[in-house]
Amino acid sequence: MPGTGTVSADITPPVVALDDVLTNDSTPALTGTVNDPTATVVVNVDGVDYPAVNNGDGTWTLADNTLPALTDGPHTITVTATDAAGNAGTDTAVVTIDTTAPNAPVLDPINA
């Protein structure tokens, strides 16, 4: 029949991942995985979007010092990968910043 053919549609979102992180760096680099080498990757930290680099090898990176200095404590991070068809996959993790050094031990010279 004239005018017939096959149409295929990409309806599968990319799979993207980020692990929870504990660091003393208030402007940490973030890395994760993405299964689409051409997907656009965006990292959202505390409600602000930051474009990440899709390395094309199954990983993505947000460079060190890209983020503003984060306060001590947990921060919810959402990473979204969007493919050329507009399908989006997301993952959420927690990055905990701890820049406070532990208290120095107090030595008792009598029992030392």
- Report the pLDDT averaged over residues 103-109: 79
Ordered domains of the chain (ranges, CATH): 16-97 (2.60.40.10)
Determine the pLDDT at residue 5. Answer: 75
Burial bucket for residue 43 (CB in 10 Å: 0-12, 13-18, 19+)? buried
Q: How far apart are CA 31 and CA 112, in angstroms?
A: 45
pLDDT digit string (tens) for 45-79? Answer: 989 999 999 999 999 999 999 999 999 999 999 99
Given a contact cutoff of 8 angstroms between Cβ atoms, the answer to whether 19 and 6 are in contact is no
**pLDDT tens profile 89-100:** 999 999 999 999
